């Protein structure tokens, strides 16, 4: 077992202005509890109600998307682990990042969808959102890149970013998303 550098880890949290970080299997209850903590931090930090709701909304959509994916794929706790980070940046905005294991083909598909959304302006994103809203429920659920992703893209003030990282000795990849509000 490797030695954990707690001091270094703490310094990195501090340096990255990380408000909240989670890594591990997520349950419905845990999403709600961490969400509560996030709300309390934002309130204590004097974030305006609208901005706090944007951060919370992105956190909920990203984590619930991961939960739905993990359930659909039948991943166990270890494979269904999620990494979630909420941090401040130097402009005083909030950066929300999430990552989870996916099949490589799903990651590629999601990355393409994120690129499409990132290229859209506000009006196009709104049209995409309303179109997605009218999709039959089953189709939307199966795509796995439905309404939640469009909603996050609409809220993000910077184009949504997606990254795919190869994991050694694993057929799956780590798919991660980054939004800023």
Partner 1 sequence: MMTKDLDIPATQSTPAIRSEWARGRLYMDGNSYPENSFEFFTEVFDWIQAHLSTTDGPLHLELGLIYMNTSSVKAMMDIFDMLEEAWADTRDIAVNWYYDPRNERVMEMAEEFREDYTFPFHILPTPREAP
Interaction site with partner 1 (CB under 8 A): 28, 31-32, 36, 49-50, 53-54, 56-57, 60-61, 64, 67-68, 126, 130, 133, 137, 140, 146-148, 151
> Considering beta carbons, is residue 80 or 148 the nearer one to partner 1?
148
> Would you give the DSSP letter of residue 126?
H
Give me the least distance between CB of 150 and partner 1, in Å please: 8
**Number of residues written out for the chain:** 181
Helix and strand numbers (H, E) in the chain are 7, 5
> Considering beta carbons, is residue 64 or 83 the nearer one to partner 1?
64
**Angle (nearest 5°) at CA 175 between 102 and 121:** 125
Give me the least distance between CB of 174 and partner 1, in Å please: 23
Give me the least distance between CB of 103 and partner 1, in Å please: 22
Q: Phi, psi at residue 16, to the nearest 5°?
A: -80, 5
> Considering beta carbons, is residue 81 or 173 the nearer one to partner 1?
81
Give me the least distance between CB of 181 and partner 1, in Å please: 11
> Considering beta carbons, is residue 8 or 49 the nearer one to partner 1?
49
**Range 41-61 burial, b when 16+ CB lie within 10 A, else e:** ebeeeebeeeebebbbbbbbb
> Considering beta carbons, is residue 11 or 28 the nearer one to partner 1?
28
Give me the least distance between CB of 138 and partner 1, in Å please: 11
Structure tokens at 5: 């550098």
User: Cβ–Cβ contacts within 10 Å for residue 5, how many?
Assistant: 10
Structure tokens at 94: 């909030």
């Amino acid at each position: 077992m490797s030695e954990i550098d707690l001091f270094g880890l703490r310094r990195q949290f501090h340096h990255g202005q990380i408000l909240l970080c989670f890594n591990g299997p997520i349950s419905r209850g845990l999403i709600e509890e961490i969400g509560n903590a996030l709300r309390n931090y934002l309130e204590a930090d004097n974030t305006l109600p609208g901005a706090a709701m944007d951060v919370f909304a992105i956190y909920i959509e990203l984590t619930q998307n991961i939960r739905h994916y993990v359930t659909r794929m039948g991943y166990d706790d270890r494979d269904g682990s999620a990494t979630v980070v909420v941090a401040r940046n130097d402009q005083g905005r909030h950066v929300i990042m999430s990552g989870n294991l996916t099949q490589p083909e799903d990651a590629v598909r999601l990355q393409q969808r994120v690129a499409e959304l990132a290229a859209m302006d506000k009006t196009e994103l709104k049209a995409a959102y309303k179109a997605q809203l009218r999709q039959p429920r089953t189709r939307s659920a199966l795509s796995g890149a439905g309404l939640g992703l469009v909603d996050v893209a609409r809220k993000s003030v910077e184009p949504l970013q997606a990254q795919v990282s190869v994991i050694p000795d694993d057929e799956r990849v780590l798919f991660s998303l980054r939004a800023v509000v």
